[in-house]
Amino acid sequence: MNSDYTENLQCYQTPPMDLFHSGHTVKICAPMVRYSKLAFRTLVRKYSCDLCYTPMIVAADFVKSVKARDSEFTTNEVLSISSGDRPLIVQFAAQEAQVLADAAALVCPFADGIDLNCGCPQRWAMAEGYGACLINKPELVQDMVRQVRNQVENPNFAVSIKIRIHDDLTRTVDLCRKAEAAGVSWITVHGRYVEERHQPVHYDAIKVIKENMSVPVVANGDVRNLREAENIHQMTGANGVMVARGLLANPALFAGYEETPLKCIQDWVDIALEHGTPFVCFHHHLMYMMERITSKQEKRVFNVLSSTSAVLDYLGEQYSI
């Protein structure tokens, strides 16, 4: 982050809330550890993704350490004024209202909002008081949303939360209502319980939450193609659909492609090389993208390639990329 850009960046003209008032289902790239970084966000924006999240960042570390800020949050500041890495939501893990508000103030000039992670089920996160354990602390969530609202002066700056659901859905509705009363911009609902991983998503629960809220609600969980995204919108009434693994497998999902087109793979190569994406990340994204379009034999060859030049040679020989 570079504060020299702050004055110009504040003229960015499209608040993310405008997306929810546009009349169409908002298509959102989820926060993904290691994966939803600048280069990948740049790719999915080329294929009809409306809104992107950063990977989850621990707010306390972000506030304390310049090194953490420089390594965890990367955006393209100059292009953000026009058609670059915006609209952008920075997701934080936090357990203290003031720390979250301080982190929000730091990213405010460079992003369009922050999201409080109340859904991560990983043991380390919950042991630290982060993530999904917060769904059982509605007053704390309410306080954190309110504190950001009070401290960040920009009225267009979004404050959202991403949650999982309770067995007793009245508790989830109560949590959402408290967040709404504190000024939350929208609520993303991953329709699974904390202990669930690959079980079917409870879309009926998302529908109930949507019916009880006046702020926008985003549905999250098991979207593999645009048709499913549209069906989930119809089933739940959600204002937006957030996708994680489906976009890793097919970054062109929101543009209606059933599998990753070769043009998208070419775009990823160009973008990743331009951004200096580390090889492991560059290669992993390609493995995800090519999963559905390569044979087992091709996977065995491609997945063990160990250098950018080897990958480029392979793509050139096999796909003329």
Catalytic option among 49, 118, 120, 264: 120
Q: Clarify whether 120 is annotated catalytic.
A: yes
Please answer whether residues 254 and 47 qualify as being in contact, where contact means their C-beta atoms are separated by less than 8 angstroms. Answer: yes
Give me 54's structure tokens: 């950063």
Interior angle at CA 141, CA 136 and CA 146, nearest 5: 160
Q: In Å, how far are 187, 192, 195, 267 from 167, measured between CA atoms?
A: 18, 9, 10, 43
Q: In Å, how far are 84, 160, 265, 294 from 262, measured between CA atoms?
A: 23, 35, 5, 12
Give me 55's structure tokens: 């990977």
One-letter amino acid identity for 143? Answer: D
Interior angle at CA 250, CA 263 and CA 267, nearest 5: 30
Please answer whether residues 101 and 151 qualify as being in contact, where contact means their C-beta atoms are separated by less than 8 angstroms. Answer: yes
Contacts of 290 (CB under 8 A, 6+ apart): 260, 265, 298, 299, 302
User: Where does 183-218 have alpha helices with state H?
Assistant: 203-211
Active-site amino acid positions: 120
